[in-house]
Amino acid sequence: MSVAVGLGLMEFPFARASEFWRWIDLCEQGGIDSFWQTDRVVSRQPILECMTAIAAVAGRTRRLKFGVNVISVALRDPVLVAKQCATIDVLSEGRLLPGFGIGSPLAPEWKALGIDTKTRGRRTDEGLDIIRRLWREESVDFEGKYYHLSGAAIAPRPVQPDLPMWIGGSSEAAIRRTARIGTGWQAGAELPEEAGRVVAAIKAAAAESGRRIDPDHYGAAFPFRFGSATDSAVTAAMEAYVKRTGRDPRRYFAIGNAETILERIAQYVDAGLSKFILRPVGADGEDVLVQTRKLIETVLPLVADRWPRGAKPAA
């Protein structure tokens, strides 16, 4: 087991593609574990399409892992998702870390695409069953409420013999879904104590169904910035967060110095989570590069010292 720090993006803060690739190169060379793109199809703000983005990153890098936090299965055709994941995993030689969820009911896609939010859970469960089977089986027949398949198959299948399927969400349904089919769980906006309760609930539910999820396969995410809570970039990000989630951002954002960020990581580790998606809060692309460089230079060495590779997080 080991504590691993990845970086994530929601909006696209860069003025041009070359800035984005400078950032990805910095992550690749600086020891960042993984890159994560948020799934958003409909948006007035510039946001990259997630599957296209990680496919491009796969071609640019050789070490960096990547994933989506998380793919909203109910918005996408599950056969296409299975095929996209398999293709990216093959071409990246096994660096894909796919995460799946039902999507936020506040997301703009539901109204724009005319999808009833009440169907998200059932669509997701059917879609995940299809995706898992297509990754493993020669031919798939499926008869559900929303999806119908006859003799569906994909090739090549993923390089990873048991491609991970991390699940997002903290509802009772998400806990049951993770316990039933997940190989890991990825927190969203949950604070450490909330995330710890979800981890405990997943472990209990998995044990009841005769499954066990690797204790190293629980992840957390939070925004960070080297600076002050009064920085204009922080206030803007917090306002957007409140509008999107209705939550208080002050305990979620880690704003300060390297010790502030390290302590927030430690709070999640103590709650039983060891994989991280940190989102740099920056005014623009250049600021994001500066924030990322500071994280690499000051926080990653502290993480390596405090949690040497092979160390176990708290139960």
User: What are the pLDDT digits (tens) for 100-135?
Assistant: 999 888 889 999 999 999 999 999 999 999 999 999
Structure tokens at 90: 């093959």
Structure tokens at 66: 């990547």
Residue 102, helix vs strand vs coil: coil
Cα–Cα distance for residue pair 10/188, rounded to 1 Å: 12
Q: Stretch 141-163: mean pLDDT, rounded?
A: 97
Phi, psi angle pair for 226, to nearest 5°: -80, 110
For a pLDDT cut of 70, what percent of the chain falls above it?
Answer: 98
Whether the per-residue pLDDT at 78 is higher than 90: the answer is: yes
Query: Does the N-terminal peptide bond of residue 198 adopt cis geometry, omega within 30 degrees of 0?
Result: no
Cα–Cα distance for residue pair 223/280, rounded to 1 Å: 6
Lowest mean pLDDT segment, chosen from 155-159, 168-172, 307-311: 307-311
Lowest mean pLDDT segment, chosen from 40-44, 180-184, 243-247: 243-247
Asked if 27 and 66 count as a contact pair (C-beta separation under 8 A), the reply is: no
What length is written for the chain? Answer: 315
Q: Which residues, other chains included, contact 20 with Cβ-Cβ below 8 Å and sequence gap of 6+? A: 12, 14, 285
pTM > 0.85: yes
Residue 67, helix vs strand vs coil: strand
pLDDT of residue 315: 45
CATH number of 4-306: 3.20.20.30
Extents of the domains making up the chain: 4-306
Asked if 12 and 285 count as a contact pair (C-beta separation under 8 A), the reply is: no
Per-residue pLDDT tens over the stretch 11-64: 999 999 999 999 999 999 999 999 999 999 999 999 999 999 999 999 999 999
Q: Stretch 91-103: mean pLDDT, rounded?
A: 96
Whether the per-residue pLDDT at 68 is higher than 90: the answer is: yes
Alpha carbon 308 to its chain's center? 23
Whether the per-residue pLDDT at 275 is higher than 90: the answer is: yes
